[in-house]
Amino acid sequence: MIRTGAQYLEGLKDGREVYIDGERVKDVASHPALAPIVAAKARMYDLHHEAEAAPKLTYSDADGIHSVFQQPPRTQEDWHRKWAALDLLLQDLGGVATRMGDETIGEMWSLQDGRDILAGIDPRFADNIDRHIRDVIVKDPFHVSANTDPKGDRSRPIEQRDPDMMIRVTKETDKGVIIRGAKFETAAPYADQAYLKPTVGAWTDEKESIHAVGCIVRMGAPGVKHICRAGFAHVGDPRDNPIASRFDEVEALVVFDDVLVPWEDVFFYRHTRAAQQVRATLHRYSAFPYVLRLLYVADAMIGVAMWNARQTGLEKLQAVQEKLADLVCYREGIRAHLAASIALAEPSPAGLLMPNQSILYAGRVMACSQLPVMMHAARELIGGQICVTPDAAQFDGEAGQWLRKFYTLNDQWDADDRRKLLAYARDLLNSGYAGHRLAFVQFAQAPHFNHLAAVYKSFDFSGPLDFVKRAASLSDKVDGASVKPVGKAAA
C-alpha cells in the first residue's frame, strides 16, 4: 500500500508532544513553522497516486504496489529509477527537501547487511530487521534517523556525566526495553518513526554497554518529546524568503523520557559489536540520496548565477564565464561520482547492490566540503545586491517608484523579476536559512571527519601500494595487501 497525503496527515494526529517558540503545538500539520514542509511530504505521497508520475515512482511485487523510494536496491536499474524518482519529486516541489524518508531508509538496509552479527547475538533481532524493512515497503511510513546524542563533556568518562547524555536502556520488561536520553533529529516532529542507534563514538574494549541500543521508536509514543529549534518558514514575508518559507526541514531535540520500545522493534541491545557494525556501515546506501540532493543545490546556484549574469549583461565577459564554469565543474563532479558509483556498484553481504563505496564516499567528501567554496563563488558572481536589496514590502510602498526605477534593467527584465531573483539568491546563499542549510550539509549525515573515515576505510590501498612497490623496486619483504574492509570481506 502506498499512503496518500491525507493518510500521512491523519497519522500525525497521534497526540505527539511537539514544542516550538516556547509553546506546545496543537496540530503539527497546520502550525505555520511546520505546515509548508509537512505539505511537501504529503505531496510526495500524493504524487505516487497520480497517473503521470506513478509509473516512475512505483514498482510492484507479490504484495502489491510500492514506492521506488522504499525499494531495497538489487540492480543498477533500481538505482537509476531512484535517481529519476527523486528528480521527478524535486522538480514537482520546485526545491530541495532532503529528509523525506528515502534518504534515511538505507540505514536499515545496512543493518540487514550485518544480520549475521545480529543473529549471533539473538536470532529475534535479525528477524526484527527483516520484518521492519518489509513493513516500510508495505506500510510506507515516513522514516527518519536518530544518531546524535547531546553527549555532554567528553573529557569525562560516561559514568561521570549525566547518564542521560547518551541514550541508554534503563530497564528490560516483558514487553520491551525502556530507553532514556535525547537525540537531535531533522524532521522527527512530522515523521512516523525513527531508527535510533548509538552516535559516532569510540567503543573501547567493552563487550556490553547499556548505550549500545538500536531500535525503531514511534514519534508519537508516550514519553517522546520534540523540542524544535526556531523555525524559518513563518518568519517574515514569503516573498523575501522564497525557499525557507517552503522547505524549512525543522530539527528538534527529541527527548526520550522513559520510552517503552517493544521487543519487536529492537534490532540490537547491549552488544557493542552490533553497534560497531552499525556505525561502520551506516551510510553505505543512504550517502547516495544525500549527495544526490547536492546536485540540485548546485543547479540552483548555477541557475541564479547564470540568470543574474544574463540580467546584468555580464554573461559575455570571459572572466564571468570562467567563474560559472567553476560551478559547473562542481555540479558535474557530483554527477560523475554518483553515476560512477552505480556503474561500478558492488554486491552487499545481504545480496543487495551497494553503490561503489569508495567512489560514493569520495563524492560525499567532495560535494560537502566544497559547498562553502561554491556558495561563495555563486555569491561573488551575483554581487553585493543580494544583501542590500530592500524587501518586497518596500517595492509595494511609497518608495516603490524609486525601487522600480533602479531595479528595471531593460525591456525584458523588469524590477519585479530582478527583485524575485535577488530574493531567491539571498535565501539560497546569504540568509540565516542559507547558513542553516550549509550546516545541515556539513553535519546532518555525520561530520566531516566521519566522511573522511568512510573514504579511508572503503578505499582499496593495494593498487597504490603495489604500484609504488614495483616502481621503487621495494623488496618482497614488504606486503602491499589490501586493507579494504567493505562488502563481503567485511561481513
Binding-site ranges for ligand FAD (CB under 6 A): 145-148, 151, 183-186, 200, 251, 439-440, 443-444, 446-447, 449
CA 63, 66, 69, 73: dihedral to nearest 10 degrees?
Answer: 30
Which residue, 436 or 469, has its beta carbon nearer to ligand FAD?
436
* Cβ(319)–Cβ(148) below 8 Å: no
Which amino acid does the sequence have at 393?
A
The residue ranges of DSSP E strands in 62-142, in sequence order, are: 64-67
Which residue, 134 or 448, has its beta carbon nearer to ligand FAD?
448
Shortest Å distance, C-beta 450 to ligand FAD: 7
260 burial via Cβ count (<10 Å: 0-12, 13-18, 19+): middle
Within its chain, how far is the Cα of 412 from the centroid? 39
Task: Find, among 419, 398, 397, the residue nearest to 407 by Cα.
Answer: 419
3-state secondary structure of 375: helix
Shortest Å distance, C-beta 447 to ligand FAD: 4
Which residue, 435 or 464, has its beta carbon nearer to ligand FAD?
435
Shortest Å distance, C-beta 400 to ligand FAD: 36
Which residue, 254 or 324, has its beta carbon nearer to ligand FAD?
254
Task: Find, among 197, 355, 354, 375, the residue nearest to 298 by Cα.
Answer: 375
For 136-168, give the DSSP string. Answer: HHHH---EEEE-B-----TTS-GGGS-GGGS-E
Which residue, 282 or 342, has its beta carbon nearer to ligand FAD?
282
Which residue, 185 or 192, has its beta carbon nearer to ligand FAD?
185
Shortest Å distance, C-beta 296 to ligand FAD: 17
489 burial via Cβ count (<10 Å: 0-12, 13-18, 19+): exposed
Which residue, 310 or 436, has its beta carbon nearer to ligand FAD?
436
Please give the helix or strand (H or E) that residue 470 lies within, else none: helix 462-471
Cβ atoms < 10 Å from Cβ of 380: 12
Among left, alpha and beta (phi > 0; psi -120 to 50; other), residue 140 is left
Shortest Å distance, C-beta 169 to ligand FAD: 18
Which residue, 200 or 340, has its beta carbon nearer to ligand FAD?
200
Which residue, 312 or 430, has its beta carbon nearer to ligand FAD?
430
Shortest Å distance, C-beta 186 to ligand FAD: 4
Shortest Å distance, C-beta 28 to ligand FAD: 17
Shortest Å distance, C-beta 283 to ligand FAD: 11
373 burial via Cβ count (<10 Å: 0-12, 13-18, 19+): exposed
Which residue, 151 or 469, has its beta carbon nearer to ligand FAD?
151
Cβ atoms < 10 Å from Cβ of 385: 16
The residues with which 60 forms a beta bridge, in sequence order, are: 65
- The number of residues making up the chain comes to 491
Nearest to ligand FAD by Cβ — which residue? 147
Find the largest Cα–Cα distance for the chain: 83
- Distant-in-sequence, close-in-space partners of 177: CB < 8 Å, separation ≥ 6: 169, 171, 213, 215, 260, 261, 263, 266, 269
Which residue, 302 or 454, has its beta carbon nearer to ligand FAD?
454
Measured in degrees and rounded to the nearest 5, phi and psi for residue 181 equal: 140, -150
Shortest Å distance, C-beta 462 to ligand FAD: 26
Shortest Å distance, C-beta 40 to ligand FAD: 16
CA 34, 51, 58, 188: dihedral to nearest 10 degrees?
Answer: 10
Shortest Å distance, C-beta 321 to ligand FAD: 34
